[in-house]
Amino acid sequence: MDFEAWWLIFLPLLFALGWMAARFDIKQMLSETRNLPDSYFRGLNFLLNEEPDRAIDAFVEVAKLDPETTELHFALGSLFRRRGEMERAIRVHQSLLFREDLPLAQRDHAQHELAQDYLKAGMLDRAEEAFAVLKETSFALSALRALIRIYESEHDWPRAIAAVQNLGKIVNEPVPQLVHYHCEQAQFSLAQKPPNIEQARVALSLAERAVDAAQKSGSSHAMVRVSMLSASIAASCQEVAAQQRYLEAVLTQAPEFAGLIAQELFNLYSTHGQAVAGLSRLQEHYQQYPSLDLFNVVFRGLRTQQGVEQAWRFARQALQSHPSLLGLDRLLEAELAQKPAAEQAGAGSPIPGADLTLLRRLINRHTQRLDRYVCSNCGFQARRFYWQCPGCNAWETYKPRRLEELE
């Protein structure tokens, strides 16, 4: 009982101390607020009203009055960079780095901001040097990712590979673009004159290892690209059986990618007296995994082997099951390419009385925008298939289907 009474004596004292501390904090906050220039509040108001130009002018005025405001300098530099005024952003962040009294954490922050300025300005050499300084700081992971983007843009695949391997150790998971870096090296070796087959094989062997390491992610793109490059190496060495085997592997490993290799595979079948069996296999594959590119190869093959009537029977069945303006456009294009000009006005046409030239012209006008591959990340459209999107530089974002098939 005496113990409880003893504590009750201190309760009013504790409340009094709390009240005094609160008043002290409020007074200090009000004092600091009075010391802030009016330009600071005008700048905040412009930012809230989404008027960045006027906000920058107000903050510049504050920075002139109080050069020690580091956080304001960071805000200004970020605003300049967002507006594309890279010279002003660089000057702001350089001025911070020139200050000898800047704490280490803020110095690293300023270095990171300056590196981003250089990167956005396209000054890749300076950006690389600036990011390299941050390897042992809290910005190490962000700097490493930026360095990878720089090495990619410079097509410096050996350094990109080394950087991605370091990234894999930090994040402790496979990095899918590593496969493509090795594939880029293999493709570069094959493009040389004469092709450097040995280097291409070494690079592709490393790509296969990377595929195995990233197997859990189930990247069909990586497997298909390795198979296609293996077929290219076999073709350079005139190893026809191996080339055909690698292309056929795509049909089983990633059947949705058949359209990318169908024409090359059919040409191999035809060259070695297997045209009938090869076309039959592609036609069966189309029944399970229809695509516009595969449709085009099968239609042309049927027209050559079995004649117009059989080809159009296939086309009618395919278009009934999977209606497509692009499919109709493709078969009309193939039909016109093989008919004399006198017959294109309707004589002998599988569509009685039809002017195929006029019909194809009308359809083609509507299919131009549909005959493209599209990036699932940024929406960039392209007529050819890309492993890396030219718009956002993301890997494996293109599906092997045309835009019309995705809608």
Summarised one tens digit per residue, pLDDT across range 61-84 is 554 545 456 777 787 788 778 888
Summarised one tens digit per residue, pLDDT across range 372-398 is 899 999 999 998 999 999 998 899 999
pLDDT mean over 295-301:
88
pLDDT class of 27 with cuts at 50, 70, 90: very low
**Residue from 190, 166, 183, 252 nearest 222 by CA:** 183
CB 106 within 8 A of CB 96: yes
pLDDT class of 353 with cuts at 50, 70, 90: very low
pLDDT more than 90, % of the chain: 43
> Is 263 or 48 the better-scoring residue by pLDDT?
263
Rounded Cα distance between 294 and 315, Å, is 12
Q: Does domain 67-170 have CATH number 1.25.40.10?
A: yes
Domain ranges of the chain: 2-33, 67-170, 174-253, 372-407
Q: What is the pLDDT of residue 73?
A: 74
Summarised one tens digit per residue, pLDDT across range 89-135 is 898 888 878 878 778 998 999 999 999 999 999 999 999 999 999 98
